[in-house]
Amino acid sequence: MIILGVDPGTLLTGYGVIERDGASTRVLVSGVIKNMQAQSMPLRLKKIYLELSALIEHYHPDEFAIETAFYGKNAQSALKIGQARGVSVLAGVNYEVPVTEYSPREVKKAVVGNGAASKDQVQFMVVKILKLKSTPRYLDSTDALAVALCHSHRIGQPRTGFKDWKSYIEAHPERVIRLKSKSKAGK
Protein backbone atom coordinates (compact mmCIF):
# COMPACT_ATOMS: atom_id res chain seq x y z
CA MET A 1 0.00 0.00 0.00
CA ILE A 2 1.31 3.45 -0.93
CA ILE A 3 0.40 6.44 1.25
CA LEU A 4 0.96 10.12 0.46
CA GLY A 5 1.25 12.26 3.60
CA VAL A 6 0.94 16.05 3.40
CA ASP A 7 1.80 18.81 5.86
CA PRO A 8 0.16 21.85 4.23
CA GLY A 9 1.56 25.36 4.24
CA THR A 10 1.56 28.26 1.81
CA LEU A 11 5.34 28.78 1.81
CA LEU A 12 6.41 25.19 2.50
CA THR A 13 4.14 22.21 1.95
CA GLY A 14 5.74 19.01 3.16
CA TYR A 15 5.08 15.71 1.42
CA GLY A 16 6.11 12.15 2.06
CA VAL A 17 5.27 9.02 0.12
CA ILE A 18 5.69 5.73 1.95
CA GLU A 19 5.06 2.15 0.93
CA ARG A 20 3.85 -0.33 3.51
CA ASP A 21 4.31 -3.98 2.70
CA GLY A 22 3.21 -6.11 5.63
CA ALA A 23 5.34 -5.12 8.62
CA SER A 24 7.90 -3.16 6.63
CA THR A 25 7.60 0.46 5.59
CA ARG A 26 9.90 2.38 3.29
CA VAL A 27 10.10 5.93 2.00
CA LEU A 28 9.62 6.35 -1.73
CA VAL A 29 10.11 10.13 -1.69
CA SER A 30 9.86 13.09 0.65
CA GLY A 31 10.45 16.79 0.39
CA VAL A 32 8.80 20.17 0.30
CA ILE A 33 7.00 22.31 -2.21
CA LYS A 34 8.61 25.73 -1.84
CA ASN A 35 6.85 28.97 -2.62
CA MET A 36 8.29 32.47 -2.59
CA GLN A 37 6.83 34.95 -0.15
CA ALA A 38 6.67 37.53 -2.96
CA GLN A 39 4.34 35.29 -5.00
CA SER A 40 0.63 35.99 -4.94
CA MET A 41 -1.52 33.53 -2.99
CA PRO A 42 -3.28 32.18 -6.12
CA LEU A 43 0.10 31.31 -7.69
CA ARG A 44 1.27 29.61 -4.48
CA LEU A 45 -1.90 27.53 -4.35
CA LYS A 46 -1.57 26.59 -8.02
CA LYS A 47 2.00 25.37 -7.45
CA ILE A 48 0.94 23.25 -4.46
CA TYR A 49 -1.91 21.71 -6.46
CA LEU A 50 0.21 21.00 -9.55
CA GLU A 51 3.14 19.49 -7.65
CA LEU A 52 0.92 17.26 -5.49
CA SER A 53 -0.93 16.21 -8.64
CA ALA A 54 2.41 15.28 -10.25
CA LEU A 55 3.33 13.20 -7.17
CA ILE A 56 -0.02 11.41 -7.35
CA GLU A 57 0.41 10.71 -11.07
CA HIS A 58 3.93 9.37 -10.51
CA TYR A 59 3.45 7.25 -7.36
CA HIS A 60 -0.25 6.32 -7.64
CA PRO A 61 -0.91 6.35 -3.87
CA ASP A 62 -3.69 4.18 -2.50
CA GLU A 63 -4.32 6.63 0.35
CA PHE A 64 -3.86 10.37 0.94
CA ALA A 65 -3.39 11.60 4.52
CA ILE A 66 -3.26 15.28 5.46
CA GLU A 67 -2.83 17.19 8.68
CA THR A 68 -5.79 19.32 9.72
CA ALA A 69 -5.36 23.02 10.32
CA PHE A 70 -4.02 24.08 13.68
CA TYR A 71 -6.12 26.86 15.16
CA GLY A 72 -3.72 29.25 16.82
CA LYS A 73 -3.99 32.87 17.78
CA ASN A 74 -3.46 34.20 14.26
CA ALA A 75 -6.66 33.92 12.22
CA GLN A 76 -4.91 35.10 9.05
CA SER A 77 -2.41 32.21 9.25
CA ALA A 78 -5.22 29.72 9.83
CA LEU A 79 -7.03 30.99 6.74
CA LYS A 80 -3.90 30.67 4.59
CA ILE A 81 -3.21 27.15 5.81
CA GLY A 82 -6.86 26.34 5.12
CA GLN A 83 -6.38 27.40 1.52
CA ALA A 84 -3.27 25.22 1.18
CA ARG A 85 -5.19 22.31 2.71
CA GLY A 86 -8.05 22.89 0.28
CA VAL A 87 -5.95 22.64 -2.87
CA SER A 88 -4.07 19.68 -1.41
CA VAL A 89 -7.28 17.78 -0.71
CA LEU A 90 -8.57 18.74 -4.15
CA ALA A 91 -5.52 17.12 -5.75
CA GLY A 92 -6.29 13.86 -3.95
CA VAL A 93 -10.00 13.99 -4.72
CA ASN A 94 -9.42 14.78 -8.40
CA TYR A 95 -7.35 11.60 -8.71
CA GLU A 96 -9.94 9.64 -6.70
CA VAL A 97 -7.49 8.88 -3.89
CA PRO A 98 -9.25 8.44 -0.53
CA VAL A 99 -8.39 11.41 1.71
CA THR A 100 -8.12 11.15 5.50
CA GLU A 101 -7.40 14.02 7.87
CA TYR A 102 -5.52 13.87 11.19
CA SER A 103 -5.03 16.52 13.83
CA PRO A 104 -1.45 17.49 14.71
CA ARG A 105 -2.03 15.92 18.13
CA GLU A 106 -3.12 12.58 16.60
CA VAL A 107 -0.05 12.52 14.36
CA LYS A 108 2.34 13.25 17.22
CA LYS A 109 0.71 10.65 19.44
CA ALA A 110 0.90 8.00 16.70
CA VAL A 111 4.58 8.62 15.96
CA VAL A 112 6.06 9.79 19.26
CA GLY A 113 3.51 8.51 21.76
CA ASN A 114 2.91 12.02 23.07
CA GLY A 115 0.36 14.38 21.52
CA ALA A 116 2.31 17.40 22.79
CA ALA A 117 5.65 16.36 21.26
CA SER A 118 7.86 18.97 19.61
CA LYS A 119 8.61 19.04 15.88
CA ASP A 120 12.18 17.96 16.70
CA GLN A 121 10.89 14.91 18.61
CA VAL A 122 8.65 14.01 15.66
CA GLN A 123 11.58 14.36 13.28
CA PHE A 124 13.79 12.17 15.49
CA MET A 125 11.18 9.40 15.66
CA VAL A 126 10.41 9.53 11.92
CA VAL A 127 14.12 9.11 11.16
CA LYS A 128 14.33 6.16 13.58
CA ILE A 129 11.09 4.44 12.54
CA LEU A 130 11.80 4.70 8.82
CA LYS A 131 15.54 4.02 9.29
CA LEU A 132 16.49 7.05 7.22
CA LYS A 133 20.21 7.38 6.47
CA SER A 134 20.08 11.15 6.87
CA THR A 135 17.76 13.63 8.54
CA PRO A 136 15.60 15.53 6.04
CA ARG A 137 16.45 19.23 5.82
CA TYR A 138 12.94 20.50 6.47
CA LEU A 139 10.71 19.72 9.45
CA ASP A 140 7.75 20.03 7.05
CA SER A 141 9.06 16.99 5.20
CA THR A 142 9.35 14.85 8.33
CA ASP A 143 5.95 16.13 9.49
CA ALA A 144 4.45 14.87 6.22
CA LEU A 145 6.14 11.50 6.68
CA ALA A 146 4.71 11.44 10.22
CA VAL A 147 1.21 12.05 8.79
CA ALA A 148 1.71 9.13 6.40
CA LEU A 149 2.97 6.92 9.25
CA CYS A 150 0.01 7.92 11.41
CA HIS A 151 -2.34 6.87 8.63
CA SER A 152 -0.41 3.64 8.12
CA HIS A 153 -0.88 2.82 11.82
CA ARG A 154 -4.56 3.74 11.77
CA ILE A 155 -5.47 1.70 8.71
CA GLY A 156 -3.57 -1.24 10.15
CA GLN A 157 -5.92 -1.33 13.13
CA PRO A 158 -9.15 -3.19 12.70
CA ARG A 159 -12.30 -1.14 13.17
CA THR A 160 -14.22 -2.39 16.18
CA GLY A 161 -17.73 -1.59 15.03
CA PHE A 162 -18.94 -1.66 18.64
CA LYS A 163 -21.64 0.87 19.45
CA ASP A 164 -20.89 0.95 23.19
CA TRP A 165 -18.77 -0.59 25.96
CA LYS A 166 -21.42 -3.16 26.83
CA SER A 167 -21.34 -4.74 23.35
CA TYR A 168 -17.51 -4.71 23.41
CA ILE A 169 -17.42 -6.48 26.80
CA GLU A 170 -19.96 -9.05 25.64
CA ALA A 171 -17.80 -9.82 22.60
CA HIS A 172 -14.53 -9.91 24.60
CA PRO A 173 -15.20 -11.22 28.13
CA GLU A 174 -11.60 -12.48 28.33
CA ARG A 175 -10.36 -8.88 28.34
CA VAL A 176 -12.34 -7.86 31.39
CA ILE A 177 -10.66 -7.92 34.78
CA ARG A 178 -13.21 -8.48 37.48
CA LEU A 179 -12.30 -7.19 40.91
CA LYS A 180 -13.53 -8.99 43.96
CA SER A 181 -15.87 -6.97 46.11
CA LYS A 182 -14.65 -6.04 49.60
CA SER A 183 -17.21 -8.27 51.30
CA LYS A 184 -16.10 -11.36 49.32
CA ALA A 185 -12.39 -10.53 49.45
CA GLY A 186 -12.25 -10.75 53.25
CA LYS A 187 -13.77 -14.25 53.47
pLDDT, one tens digit per residue, over 58-73 is 999 999 999 997 666 6
Which one has a higher pLDDT value, 69 or 182? 69
Looking at residue 127, its pLDDT comes to: 96
Query: Given 7, 51, 63, 143, which residue is catalytic?
Result: 7
The pLDDT confidence band at residue 74, using thresholds 50, 70 and 90, is confident
Q: Are 49 and 90 in contact (CB under 8 A)?
A: yes
* pLDDT at residue number 79: 87
Considering the chain, what percentage of its residues have pLDDT values greater than 70? 83
Give the count of beta carbons closer than 10 Å to the beta carbon of residue 160.
10
Per-residue pLDDT for 168 more than 70? no
Q: Determine the Cα–Cα distance for residues 107 and 124; give it in Å rounded to an integer.
A: 14
Name the pLDDT band for 138 (thresholds 50, 70, 90). Answer: very high
Reply yes or no on whether 7 is catalytic: yes
The whole-number pLDDT of residue 90 equals 97
Binning pLDDT at 50, 70 and 90, where does residue 121 land? very high
Catalytic residue among 51, 67, 106, 143: 67
| Confidence band of 178 (pLDDT split at 50, 70, 90) | low
**Residue 42 predicted with pLDDT over 70:** yes
Q: Using alpha carbons only, how large is the chain's radius of gyration in Å?
A: 20
Question: Active site residue: 51, 63, 106, 140, which one?
Answer: 140
Q: pTM value?
A: 0.81
Verify whether residue 21 is a known catalytic residue: no
Fold of 2-161: Nucleotidyltransferase; domain 5 (3.30.420)
Domain positions in the chain are 2-161
Per-residue pLDDT reduced to its tens digit, 85-119: 999 999 999 999 999 999 999 999 999 988 889 99
The pLDDT value recorded for residue 76 is: 82
